[in-house]
Each structure stands twice: as structure tokens, then as C-alpha cells.
């Protein structure tokens, strides 16, 4: 399996595949409450079968060139992920996202990983617009969007029903020319 270094701290970015379902479930279990504050994934991945099914969805999206899922490893342990939830090469639009378990927070892992994934989407797949959709109360994820050079497009009021409650979502984005300029200046 290949992995891309995220820096000198032993962090690496690598694909997540269905055969890793047991490890993925253990990761979700370690961060279930923390991840679940703003992300519905812990409600979806509850056992080995659902873990394998989730990873299979992204294996299928990878094969169809409509999405990607990459694990973030710290000293070999899976601690989070970045993904392209949606990848529409024809329209030139993608939506990126992320999560981390608590032990990995505050190290810049998501920002470093998202930079690689967005750079790949823009430079290799010709994506013109990358979106980042985030719950209004998720300040760490909003901070990542800012560090990535994204602009806040607006708020989708009460657009997301999560655990029986309606939540506002912010939409952030970066366009390919802005991405290239931000990357040069970083």
C-alpha cells in the first residue's frame, strides 16, 4: 500500500479500503462521541458490516471517479480521514470533508491532508471548484477552510437534519485559480 508523508511527525495519508473495515471500526469507536458532535458517520458505522459497507461505497466511488477516501495515520495508527464526498469531473466541482479522533486534534493533520487531496483534485482531475460544507458550530472545521484559502459562500439555514434537530450549514469554497495563488503564497 502506498502512503504520502504529511510531514516530519510520522503522519501519513493513504487510501482506505474495505479490507480495512475492522481497523476503521476501531478508529470510529475511539472517536465516536467526538466525531459525532458534527458528523453523522458514527451513526452509520456501528459494526463490522456497516464499516465494510461504508468503505465499499468509497471504493465504488473511487472506481467510478466520483469520490475518494483517504486515511490519516499517525505513527501507523488510523486517526482520521479526508475525503472527496463528491467528485464531478464533468462539472469541475468537488466537495471535500474530514474528521479526526480526539488524540489527533491540534496537529494540523487535516489541513495538511486536505491540501494534498485538493491539490490532486485541482491539478490532476481538473476540478475548478472545491466546496467545504460545515455545521455552523464546528469552529475547528471552519478554521481549516480558512487555512485552505477558502471563501465563505453563505449559510444554508436549517438545511441539515441531524439527530432530530435542524442545523445551519456554512458553504466554503475555493476556485482553481485561487487555489493555485494561495498555494504559491503559502
In order of their start, the domains of the chain are 4-185 (3.40.630.30)
Inter-residue contact 81 to 72 (CB < 8 Å) = yes
Asked if the model's pLDDT at residue 157 lies above 80, the reply is yes
**Strand, helix or coil for residue 63:** helix
Asked if the model's pLDDT at residue 3 lies above 90, the reply is no
Q: Which of 108, 109, 112 is nearest to 79 (CA)?
A: 109
pLDDT, tens digit, 9 for 90 and up, residues 30-54: 999 999 998 989 999 999 999 999 9
Neighbour count for residue 5 (Cβ, 10 Å): 12
Asked if the model's pLDDT at residue 185 lies above 90, the reply is no
Q: Please tell me what DSSP assigns to residue 2.
A: -
Inter-residue contact 179 to 129 (CB < 8 Å) = no
Residue 183: pLDDT band (50, 70, 90) is: confident
Distances (CA, A) of 150 to 43, 80, 157: 29, 21, 20
**Strand, helix or coil for residue 81:** strand
Residue 139 CB contacts under 8 Å (≥ 6 apart), including other chains: none
pLDDT, tens digit, 9 for 90 and up, residues 119-134: 999 999 999 999 999 9
Helices (H) and strands (E) in the chain, counts: 6, 8
Asked if the model's pLDDT at residue 186 lies above 90, the reply is no
> Quick one: average pLDDT of 15-39?
95
pLDDT, tens digit, 9 for 90 and up, residues 92-124: 999 999 999 999 999 999 999 999 999 999 999
> Quick one: average pLDDT of 164-176?
93
Among 8-12, 59-63, 73-77, 170-174, the least confident range: 8-12
Inter-residue contact 108 to 47 (CB < 8 Å) = no
Asked if the model's pLDDT at residue 184 lies above 80, the reply is no
pLDDT, tens digit, 9 for 90 and up, residues 80-92: 999 999 999 999 9
Residue 1: pLDDT band (50, 70, 90) is: low
Amino acid at each position: 500500500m502506498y502512503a504520502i508523508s504529511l510531514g516530519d511527525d510520522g503522519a501519513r495519508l493513504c487510501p482506505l479500503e474495505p479490507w480495512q473495515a475492522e481497523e476503521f471500526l476501531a478508529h470510529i469507536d475511539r472517536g465516536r462521541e467526538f466525531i459525532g458532535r458534527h458528523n453523522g458517520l458514527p451513526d452509520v458505522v456501528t459494526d463490522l458490516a456497516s464499516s465494510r459497507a461504508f468503505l465499499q461505497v468509497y471504493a465504488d466511488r473511487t472506481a467510478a471517479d466520483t469520490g475518494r477516501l483517504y486515511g490519516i495515520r499517525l505513527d501507523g495508527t488510523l486517526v482520521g480521514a479526508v475525503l472527496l464526498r463528491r467528485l464531478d469531473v464533468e462539472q469541475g466541482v468537488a466537495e471535500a470533508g474530514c474528521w479526526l479522533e480526539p488524540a489527533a486534534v491540534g496537529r494540523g493533520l487535516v489541513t495538511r491532508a486536505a491540501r494534498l487531496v485538493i491539490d490532486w483534485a485541482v491539478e490532476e482531475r481538473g476540478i475548478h471548484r472545491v466546496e467545504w460544507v460545515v455545521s455552523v458550530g464546528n469552529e475547528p472545521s471552519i478554521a481549516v477552510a480558512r487555512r485552505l484559502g477558502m471563501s465563505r459562500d453563505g449559510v444554508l439555514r436549517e438545511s441539515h437534519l441531524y439527530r432530530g434537530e435542524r442545523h445551519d450549514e456554512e458553504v466554503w469554497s475555493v476556485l482553481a485559480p485561487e487555489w493555485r495563488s494561495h498555494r504559491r503564497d503559502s
